[in-house]
Amino acid sequence: MKKALVCGAGGFIGSHLVKRLKAEGFWVRGVDLKYPRFSQTPADDFIVGDLRDLAVCHEAVDTRFDEVYQLAADMGGAGYIFTGENDASVMHNSAQINLNILEACRRRNSFRIFYSSSACIYPEYRQLEAENAGLAESDAYPAAPDSEYGWEKLFSERLYAAYARNHGFEARVARYHNIFGPEGAWNDGKEKAPAAICRKVAQAGNPGEIEIWGDGEQTRSFLYIDECLEGTIRFMRSDWAGPVNIGSEEMVSINRLAAIAAEIAGKTITPRHVPGPLGVRGRNSNNKLIFEKLGWRPSQSLASGIAKTYAWIDQQVQKTQRPKDAPKPVVRQREIVAAE
């Protein structure tokens, strides 16, 4: 039986990845600061521990793994990344995790490793207009990300490439473009635009009004979680290192995203534009390279993914009406406490 390690297995993408790998027959260990928030993990083993602590990383990588997926990072949506208040934590925490995991894997001969970078590494000067033709992988340099989060991701891309050159790692680096879907953050300040919009629409009356930061004409592309997992696994098992975009080319404005969610909800929603952190003006994925190398491109429409995500978030909104003292399921897994 093949073995996989998923770092960040308590998070949105990581928890879905664990389910996918288990369905493929892998023995899976997950590690994170916390268990998944919305469902019990199917991981064979789950370590609750802080990957900023090298001892926890050595405990997690106590044997050779066939596949290691490094998704753990300090991150969130625009309200977390672009205010400037979390810059030091974002850079320190994520860089420390990557340094630790690579060293732990090197010592245990676990050399096939996937690293989830981000579209935030792309230069701000290529994203100043709402109409964005798509960011190709070669557009990364000259480097000028618009956030410290993007700078840390770019540093870590080079870190993985250096370990590949010097230590024989089979590193795979992918740049995720706004992954969304059920069981993601939706109300904790770290949610991204699709979840935030779905939550606002679900909470609004009919007719109703929702807040949108800025004029709403800023553009993005969003990729549904199932597509993300398919692209990730195909790339991980290829003989190509990347970096590569894993995203959708279906770019929309935030106003249009809100309209799609309203249509799905069957509500008449009026946007109210307010000041807020915005990030770049326009961002879209260019998928030419991943199709050339892997013969794959996303197939689901944005609307189909939003429909599934809205249905799940609407259920969460309804649950907030339940008593706070309702019993919660008990999860029995082993824990490792990080050193102070």
Token pair 């809100």 in the structure block, residue: 258
201 alpha-carbon distance from chain centroid: 23
Token pair 């949108």 in the structure block, residue: 212
Token pair 């109210």 in the structure block, residue: 272
Phi and psi, residue 176, nearest 5°: -75, 140
Which pair of tokens denotes residue 205?
A: 């009356």
Q: 244: how many CB neighbours lie within 10 A of its CB? A: 22
CA 329, CA 338: separation in Å to the nearest integer? 24
Phi and psi, residue 36, nearest 5°: -55, 140
Among 248, 250, 231, 247, CA closest to 294: 231
Taking a C-beta distance cutoff of 8 angstroms, is the pair 123, 145 a contact?
yes
149 is a catalytic site residue? yes
**With 0-12 CB in 10 A as exposed, 13-18 as middle and 19+ as buried, what is 88?**
exposed
Among 199, 194, 198, CA closest to 178: 194
Taking a C-beta distance cutoff of 8 angstroms, is the pair 98, 35 a contact?
no
Q: Which residue in the list 69, 122, 149, 224 is annotated as catalytic?
A: 149
Q: Which residues are catalytic?
A: 149
